[in-house]
Amino acid sequence: MENWYWMTLVVLIGLTVRWTVSLNPYSGAGKPPMFGDYEAQRHWQEITFNLPVKEWYFNSSDNNLQYWGLDYPPLTAYHSLLCAYVAEFINPDWVALHTSRGYESHAHKLFMRTTVLVADLFIYIPAVLLYCYSLKEISPKRKIAVALCILLYPGLILIDYGHFQYNSVSLGFALWGVVGVSYDWDLLGSLAFCLALNYKQMELYHSLPFFCFLLGKCFKKGLKGKGFVLLIKIACTVMASFLLCWLPFFMEREQALQVLRRLFPVDRGLFEDKVANIWCSVNVFLKIKEILPRHIQLAISFCLTFLSLLPACIKLTLQPSSKGFRFTMVSCALSFFLFSFQVHEKSILLVSLPVCLVLNEIPFMSTWFLLVSTFSMLPLLLKDELLLPSVVTVVAFLVACVTFFPLCESTSEAQLQLTSFAVSVRRRLPGFTFLPRIIQCLGISCDTDLHILIRRKHRWKVCHADNCAHEENGFQMVIFFPHSDDASISQRTALGQEGTALHFKLDYSSTKIPV
């Protein structure tokens, strides 16, 4: 590759930004008694290092599950164990049972930040580079641009290196999965995705597209011949990798069930804090949490999620293609985020990853979504005192995208890949010709959040989440269509209408559009 040095520079820039952000405070720094996610990760190291595997997920005198009990799948626990060994080598106090609770020091912060960087460097960044190399039909320059923009995505950097989490591991594995299945290395892809799923159960957001895509591939090859063999192979790979990850927990039935209970805490409620999804937005008008009983909430959210992701999944199964796969990933992840039960604001990262992957196809929409997604986490970032790095990284990302992708000029229907959608709407609404302009203005409506922030300080969090949700909702509606033909278009339009309505309301209220 002639342009290897540009890729090196891109990686170096990405690493520099990551490390400089990591100099900022982490979540719960100096805030006893519960601290934050940083302490959670350190606590997991302590637990996994000092207790036998059997006790990791059980409440005991040594393992108080109320205090940051382990609630991620086994691979996270193994990773914590690995880090704990290194920590113990450097300073045993860091992982001493009980006494290390709430341990904070500069050296320890440095160590924890380094573990994130190392994980990122070995899993996420190579996956991004490989993905960008694998992109077809674009110039090497453009590949580098895409790589830079993906590596500069502020949401992931701020949560992993500011707030403190290891999202880059699970997302990195998922990305390895994407690369694998796009290259037709299906077994490797499914293995990587199983690892992602076993690192963080939230990766379920991405599971359906993987399933449908691989199933579709098998169908395409003919279920009676090669396709069947492939299906068996994939199934074996998945089973084997799961078995391997869960080996210590399969010894006893109670063990496995307890882990599952820890992973899916249904009793936590429809949503927490201020999440930019449907439930939180509807909550402004209608207090669903109080009106409906818990099991009905669960049923409604399940049905809505299922319905909203169905069309895209069916299409992908029938017409598996690498591009369609990526778009379906966006659509499915967004459905989960918007409609499913117990969503965290950080889960938006799971949507952002596939959106990063379509950055090259629909630069304007992706950039806009990625900015909004970062903005939707602002309350969290403010709590962690990460305002300055947030603003800086967001602006840096915006500058990178604006420099490399001609954003403002490429908002015509065709360039947004919305032609078929617009045509189908025009069949019913002949006057529907102003879509591009709306979309341009939507970019501006990101700003309205800021106005809301200034004007209504006491309620801004709700409004903030609400506004972000509208924008994401609109995005989902749009994302449905890029690869569409007429097959299931009416179904989709019906689904999108709610989003459209919200969308338009928002636009007309927040910006003046010359019609």
Contact set with other proteins (CB under 8 A):
5, 8-9, 12-13, 15-17, 19-21, 23-24, 106-107, 110, 117, 388-389, 392-393, 395-396, 398-400, 402-403, 406-408, 443-444, 446-447
CB of 449 to other proteins, least distance (A): 12
CB of 408 to other proteins, least distance (A): 5
CB of 112 to other proteins, least distance (A): 12
Task: Judge contact between 464 and 376, C-beta under 8 A.
Answer: yes
- What lies within 8 Å, CB to CB, of 223 at 6+ separation is 231
User: Which residue number, 145 or 350, has a Cβ lying nearer to other proteins?
Assistant: 145
User: Which residue number, 155 or 443, has a Cβ lying nearer to other proteins?
Assistant: 443
Where do runs of H (alpha helix) occur along 247-386?
A: 253-263, 278-282, 288-291, 294-318, 322-339, 348-357, 363-376, 378-383
User: Which residue number, 237 or 393, has a Cβ lying nearer to other proteins?
Assistant: 393
H or E element that contains 80: helix 74-90
Task: Judge contact between 41 and 104, C-beta under 8 A.
Answer: no
CA distances from 141 to 6, 196, 223, 397 (A): 9, 30, 41, 17
CB of 107 to other proteins, least distance (A): 8
CB of 386 to other proteins, least distance (A): 11
Phi, psi of 343 (to 5 degrees): -105, 140
CB of 390 to other proteins, least distance (A): 11
Task: Judge contact between 452 and 467, C-beta under 8 A.
Answer: yes
Residue 360 CA, distance from chain mean position: 18
User: Which residue number, 265 or 406, has a Cβ lying nearer to other proteins?
Assistant: 406
- What lies within 8 Å, CB to CB, of 452 at 6+ separation is 460, 463, 464, 467
Residue 291 CA, distance from chain mean position: 30
User: Which residue number, 16 or 497, has a Cβ lying nearer to other proteins?
Assistant: 16
User: Which residue number, 216 or 436, has a Cβ lying nearer to other proteins?
Assistant: 436
CB of 363 to other proteins, least distance (A): 13
Identify how many contiguous H helices and E strands the chain contains and give both numbers: 24, 0
CB of 163 to other proteins, least distance (A): 15
Task: Please state at what angle helix 125-134 crosses helix 4-21, rounded to 10 degrees.
Answer: 150
Cα–Cα–Cα angle for 417, 326, 147, rounded to 5 degrees: 90
Phi, psi of 33 (to 5 degrees): -90, -15
Q: What is the DSSP string of 288-299?
A: HHHHS-HHHHHH
User: Which residue number, 335 or 373, has a Cβ lying nearer to other proteins?
Assistant: 373
CB of 122 to other proteins, least distance (A): 15
The residue to which tokens 């302490």 are assigned: 39
User: Which residue number, 279 or 397, has a Cβ lying nearer to other proteins?
Assistant: 397
Residue 232 CA, distance from chain mean position: 29
Phi, psi of 271 (to 5 degrees): -155, 160
The residue to which tokens 């209504």 are assigned: 456
CB of 117 to other proteins, least distance (A): 8
Q: 358-385: string of b/e by CB count within 10 Å (b at 16+)? A: bbbbbbbbbbbbbbbbbbbbbebbeebe
User: Which residue number, 28 or 162, has a Cβ lying nearer to other proteins?
Assistant: 162
CB of 324 to other proteins, least distance (A): 31
User: Which residue number, 117 or 159, has a Cβ lying nearer to other proteins?
Assistant: 117
Find the length of the chain: 515
Of 375, 387, 384, which is closest to residue 345 (Cα–Cα)?
375
User: Which residue number, 112 or 270, has a Cβ lying nearer to other proteins?
Assistant: 112
Return the structure tokens found at 55.
């006790």
User: Which residue number, 138 or 286, has a Cβ lying nearer to other proteins?
Assistant: 138
Return the structure tokens found at 109.
């912060």
CB of 12 to other proteins, least distance (A): 4
